[in-house]
């Protein structure tokens, strides 16, 4: 699987999607994939972040994390995006990053690469599926090869039954073992198909 170069691109306000991205990184590296774990740039005003203790704590915790760039997207031959739901769509920070990729998209440099996505929301029906579908719509425009988990393993049902991608209820608790298993399965499936495409 060392032919797979996976960019795990995430945005995380309070830490849920960061934890999900870390779980995916561990699974991909265990398979032998090359992995870049990357956050997208914060676009919220510094004062807003500073005045929200949990948000600031997460920002401080990941201050040294590399920020995703177009170069990372060119390097990768597989993508796993993870972003929280905001009013039924992906957080604006992730959208802002995607909107910087027009130049390499126009050159076809995002096409023919395996891609998958994960999300979270404050409650079980807070828009995770709509958020995942909006990310997949973007991947379709890129010409990426979408690799959802589907119902390809019993862990999908154990973690909530979302065939579009792993999704968390962001309640401040650590990720459940069932969700970690779901993330692991989704990542393994993505890496497996990315290797097939790369061969």
* One pLDDT digit (tens) per residue for the chain, 199 residues: 789 999 999 999 999 999 999 999 999 999 999 999 999 999 999 999 999 999 999 999 999 999 999 999 999 999 999 999 999 999 999 999 999 999 999 999 999 999 999 999 988 788 899 999 999 999 999 999 999 999 999 999 988 889 999 999 888 889 999 999 999 999 999 999 999 999 8
DSSP state of 33: -
Cβ contacts of 151 within 8 Å, gap of 6 or more: 157, 161, 163
Take residue 39 and report the two structure tokens written for it. 């956050």
Decide yes or no: CATH 3.40.50.360 for domain 5-198.
yes
The model carries a pTM of 0.96
Take residue 34 and report the two structure tokens written for it. 């090359």
Please provide the DSSP assignment of 119-141 as one string: EEESSTTSSHHHHHHHHHHHHHH
């Amino acid at each position: 699987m060392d032919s797979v170069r996976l960019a795990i691109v995430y945005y995380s306000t309070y830490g849920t999607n960061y934890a999900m991205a870390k779980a995916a990184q561990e699974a991909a590296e265990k398979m032998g994939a090359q992995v870049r774990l990357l956050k997208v740039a914060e676009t919220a005003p510094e004062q807003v972040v500073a005045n929200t203790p949990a948000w600031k704590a997460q920002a401080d915790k990941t201050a040294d994390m590399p920020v995703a760039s177009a170069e990372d997207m060119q390097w990768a031959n597989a993508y796993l995006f993870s972003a929280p739901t905001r009013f039924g769509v992906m957080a604006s920070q992730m959208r802002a990053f995607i909107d910087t990729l027009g130049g390499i998209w126009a050159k076809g440099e995002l096409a023919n690469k395996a891609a998958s996505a994960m999300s979270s929301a404050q409650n079980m029906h807070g828009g995770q599926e709509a958020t995942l579908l909006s990310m997949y719509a973007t991947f379709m425009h890129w010409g990426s090869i979408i690799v959802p988990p589907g119902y390809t393993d019993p862990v999908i049902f154990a973690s909530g039954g979302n065939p579009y991608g792993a999704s968390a209820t962001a309640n401040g608790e650590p990720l459940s073992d069932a969700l970690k298993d779901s993330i692991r399965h989704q990542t393994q499936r993505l890496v497996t198909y990315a290797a097939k495409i790369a061969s």
